[in-house]
A and B are shown apart, each in its own frame.
Chain A
């Protein structure tokens, strides 16, 4: 799952591949802003055919949080 998320971050959000490690923080390290983060979550929803509630967005601080969230659905 991590590799899939990484691929999306590189291809859809134009983030440097080297920066994407599980502990990388989406806002602080990868410099996504709140709108970009919301758009990325939409991309994940469509890619993995899942649904993430708006209220859960704040729990997704690191790349690994998204991986875990999706794996635990």
Chain B
């Protein structure tokens, strides 16, 4: 490794853990009576302590044993809530395999992933009851393996536990009762489990089409080591209040917001809907946040819009200059000077980790001037996910870097081009076991000497900091951290009647963000288009793309359409030459 280890990276910050069971035991022992999770219910706030969460995990895990799913594959499909964390831990700490599902997937993708992962039990919230319970009762899907279903929001008296059918639907409330009774009777089958930290304990599906999406297999060792390393290297404080904003199934939110910060005694507050983000910042008053760059972009925009609305742009710019000058002589007045600005985010926010997509370095400087440090991080699901993070005192000096490699993972650059850029390679305890049932794909992403090939292109500077300059794969990365596989959107577009060929690309906007752009070549020889002007065909295609957009999650919607009169240039194997498309 280049350079000296950053001062802020400290391996003794939290207890070293080898698996997630040890992690929660350490959390309970260290932070027991402190509040770990809060959520709103009937206009009041419910607080749950570390001790209470630990106890609920024991009940749920024991109940899984009693209903015959301990050690099996269990999928979770829900919005952010504490029951998600409980179900996750109850699964993996019984040597089972958890499948955290993306709630924005299409219904068919959800069912496909349940079958590919050979899920035995599905745990879900009321929002998905209709889909999952219809699936429970269907006999039309030969690949179906799920038999046990647990609904977080079902009233116990509405459970369906027919003896003569091949499915059972439990309420979460009753599940915990089953576990509680068994624990009282001395059942120790869950609590005494010895964890095998080398075996898979989680399958995480990557983005992509139903056919191309891969399931990343992670072990206890992968996730626990990464959570420990994130807690030691990210400069979050102890006992910080955080609002859980990002989708909970994503490894960034799971490992960083939930697991790493739990080891630092954090208090996590539920964000019940993307609509409520700003309100919840004001309500819960977070100290720290883990976000994707899109949120940082919005925060910066909001701050300047508000300042402009009040006609104070000049005053604030002068205050920034004054504050920056005073900081050079050791006087920090940011909290006082920018109190009104910080109030929009609750008033206590002092740091953000931003990862998942490139961040505008100017935003780091702007937020810092107001008193909020933005630390970039770099991760990939296959690495559990954190690979590098910015030490707390380096974000201005290294504002273009994504950070310094965290402990227990070695980062190097593969074959370099003339500018010194090459593929970023990673080896360490955080690197996945492989892709589920896909040896060929697994083989493709490892070098002969066992380094994982991230597909990201970049370089490492003389001090050891990592920089990303491009991507090898065909993915469009949005500022909300979402990876868009063009093939997935193309699959939807191909359903349009009269469309012959299409390609989806990311086109840079003035703001630097990528526009999801669909390039379409209609089948002009079709009878449907006979006698029609090209303009009419173009209008028809644009209208059809609008309809496709209604089937896609908001972040995947096509924002630009270009209808072509000539077909795409192809390779000899008749594949569209994507690299030529702009």
Contacts and interface: CB of A to CB of B under 8 A. Distances in A.
A39 B305 CA distance: 15
A55 B557 CA distance: 14
A7 interface: no
B274 A38 contact: yes
B550 A54 contact: no
A59 interface: yes
A73 B257 CA distance: 37
B552 A39 contact: no
B553 interface: yes
Pick the 10 closest A-B CB pairs, nearest first.
A28-B559, A42-B275, A38-B274, A38-B275, A34-B554, A61-B549, A34-B555, A35-B298, A59-B550, A58-B554
A35 B273 CA distance: 11
Given A34-B274, A58-B553, A58-B554, 20 more contacts: A14-B305, A25-B559, A28-B557, A28-B558, A33-B294, A33-B480, A34-B554, A35-B274, A36-B298, A37-B554, A38-B273, A38-B274, A42-B276, A42-B279, A54-B79, A55-B127, A58-B549, A58-B552, A59-B550, A61-B550
Given A34-B554, A54-B273, A55-B127, A28 B298 contact: no
B559 A27 contact: yes
B338 interface: no
Interface in B337-394: none
B127 A35 contact: no
B557 A27 contact: yes
A66 interface: no
A20 interface: no
Contacts of A37: 554
A18 to B, nearest CB: 19
A21 interface: no
B546 A27 contact: no
A33 B305 contact: no
At the interface, is chain B mostly helix, strand, loop or mixed?
A: helix
Contacts of B303: none
Interface of B: 79, 127, 273-279, 294-295, 297-298, 305, 479-480, 546, 549-555, 557-560
B559 A57 contact: no
A41 interface: yes
Contacts of A8: none
A59 B550 CA distance: 5
A61 B277 contact: no
A34 to B, nearest CB: 5
A6 B558 CA distance: 23
A55 B110 CA distance: 15
12 contacts: A14-B305, A25-B546, A33-B297, A34-B274, A36-B298, A37-B554, A38-B273, A41-B275, A42-B276, A55-B127, A58-B551, A59-B550
Contacts of B553: 58
A36 B553 CA distance: 15
Interface string A36-64: 11110110010000000011011101100
A62 B559 CA distance: 12
Interface of A: 14, 25, 27-28, 33-39, 41-42, 45, 54-55, 57-59, 61-62
A58 B274 contact: no
Contacts of A58: 549-554, 557
B480 A34 contact: yes
At the interface, is chain A mostly helix, strand, loop or mixed?
A: helix
B410 to A, nearest CB: 36
Contacts of B305: 14
Contact of A39 (B278, B550, B557): B278
Nearest to B554: A34
Contacts of A54: 79, 273-275
A16 to B, nearest CB: 14
Nearest to B513: A33
A3 B402 CA distance: 45
Contact of B298 (A27, A33, A42, A61): A33
A32 to B, nearest CB: 9
Given A35-B277, A38-B273, A42-B275, A62 B554 contact: no
A28 B560 contact: yes
A33 B296 CA distance: 13
Contacts of A27: 554, 557, 559
Nearest to B279: A42
A34 B552 CA distance: 13
A40 to B, nearest CB: 9
B108 to A, nearest CB: 15
Q: Which of B550, B553, B554 has the most CB of A within 10 A?
A: B554
A27 B561 CA distance: 13
B310 to A, nearest CB: 14
Contacts of A59: 550
Contacts of B295: 35
A37 B559 CA distance: 14
Contacts of B274: 34-35, 38, 54
Nearest to B298: A35
A13 B297 CA distance: 15
Nearest to A41: B275
Nearest to B128: A55
Contacts of B298: 33, 35-36
A33 B546 CA distance: 17
Contact of B294 (A34, A41, A55, A62): A34
Nearest to B550: A59
B517 to A, nearest CB: 10
A69 to B, nearest CB: 12
Nearest to B546: A61
Nearest to B543: A23
A72 B55 CA distance: 46
Nearest to B127: A55
Nearest to B552: A58
A59 B479 CA distance: 22
A62 B127 contact: no
Contacts of B546: 25, 61-62
Contacts of B278: 39
